[in-house]
Amino acid sequence: MCKSEEILRIDNLHVSIKNECILKGLNLSINKGEIHVIMGKNGSGKSTLAKVISGHPLYNVTHGKILLKNEDITHADPDYRAHQGIFLGFQYPVEVPGVSNIDFLRMAYNSRKKILNEDEIDPLSFFELVNQKIKNINMSPLFLERSLNEGFSGGEKKKNEILQMSLLDTELSVLDEIDSGLDVDALRDIADSIKNFHKSHNSLIMITHYQKLIEYINPDYVHIMDNGSIKLSGNKSLAIQIDQYGYENLM
Ligand code: ADP
Ligand code: MG
């Protein structure tokens, strides 16, 4: 049997911001193709973890290591990590007036191609590719011509993040509360497109409270964070127990 390939390994990670310790000895290991859900009370450090994985400069790693495919990226800058295949889907995607969505997507796509030593794509071929992808997530092609996220509803912004993720074919995607602010139809579209995207080789970390999304996505692991570290790990049934009994009764 082949040994699974470890994409991300986090060892004893301690992170502080403004001298306050937020992550306190967090460990996590993710293999190629796995989906990990992270749950936990508000303020337990979930978003901090997502930002630290993507290299947000505000957070200070004071101890421990982050390895991406065995390479130490603990102190690598965010661009480098993005080029190596890490994607962070934002809880509140930013609006960028004046930059059309399709131009932004093509720029991001080509910059990844360049890193992978592959040919850039011409505007016409990209137009065909992105139109195919946008159909998969049930989003109108009209969104491609609009300014990036400007005036998009919460759900449309989230769909646009998923569009980016699937175009970039990122190896490790971290989705922080991608479900917040979605109606049931948008949630199903998002869940379906995540499932489609994941069919291949991509690993995912999903931060969510939402039982329904967890059921759709069917993750390999569910982890519960509390006070800056992962306190419990299990499978999907852990999420069901949390739903029934609450965090306090299980920790
Ligand atoms: P979660 O996503 O699990 O709700 P966060 O990672 O957002 O938790 O926050 C964890 C803790 O870190 C909270 O107490 C929060 O106030 C603190 N924190 C996070 N980011 C900052 C920041 N930029 N400045 C000050 N405190 C922060
Ligand atoms: Mg959060």
* Tens digits of residue pLDDT in 8-17: 999 999 999 9
Q: Which of 14, 22, 44, 179 to mutate to test the pocket of ligand 1 (most atoms within 8 A of CB)?
A: 22
- Residue 127 Cα, ligand 1 centroid: separation in angstroms? 39
How confident is the model at residue 192, as a pLDDT? 87
How confident is the model at residue 3, as a pLDDT? 58
Give me the residues of the chain with pLDDT under 70, please. Answer: 1-3, 91, 200
Q: Which of 13, 15, 17 to mutate to test the pocket of ligand 1 (most atoms within 8 A of CB)?
A: 17
How confident is the model at residue 1, as a pLDDT? 42
**Ligand 1 neighbours (beta carbon < 6 A):** 17-18, 22, 40, 42-48, 58
Residue-wise pLDDT tens digits, 88-127: 987 677 788 888 889 989 998 998 898 889 999 999 999 9
Residue-wise pLDDT tens digits, 12-41: 999 999 989 999 999 999 999 999 999 999
CATH: 3.40.50.720, 3.40.50.300, 1.20.140.10, 3.40.1800.10. Which one for 36-55+77-245?
A: 3.40.50.300
Ligand nearest to the CA of 180: 2
Instruction: Point out the ligand 1 atom lying closest to the alpha carbon of residue 48.
Output: 6
Environment of ion ligand 2 (residues, CB < 5 A): 46-47
Ligand nearest to the CA of 39: 1
Ligand nearest to the CA of 17: 1
Atom 5 (ligand 1): residue with closest C-alpha?
45
For the chain, the DSSP string reads -PPPPEEEEEEEEEEEETTEEEEEEEEEEEETT-EEEEEE-TTSSHHHHHHHHHT-TTSEEEEEEEEETTEE-TT--HHHHHHTTEEEE-SSPPPEEEEEHHHHHHHHHHHHHHHTT-----HHHHHHHHHHHHHHTT--THHHHSEETTT--HHHHHHHHHHHHHHHT-SEEEEESTTTT--HHHHHHHHHHHHHHHTSS-EEEEE---HHHHHHH--SEEEEEETTEEEEEE-HHHHHHHHHHHHHHH-
How confident is the model at residue 139, as a pLDDT? 86
- Residue 249 Cα, ligand 1 centroid: separation in angstroms? 23
- Residue 46 Cα, ligand 2 centroid: separation in angstroms? 5
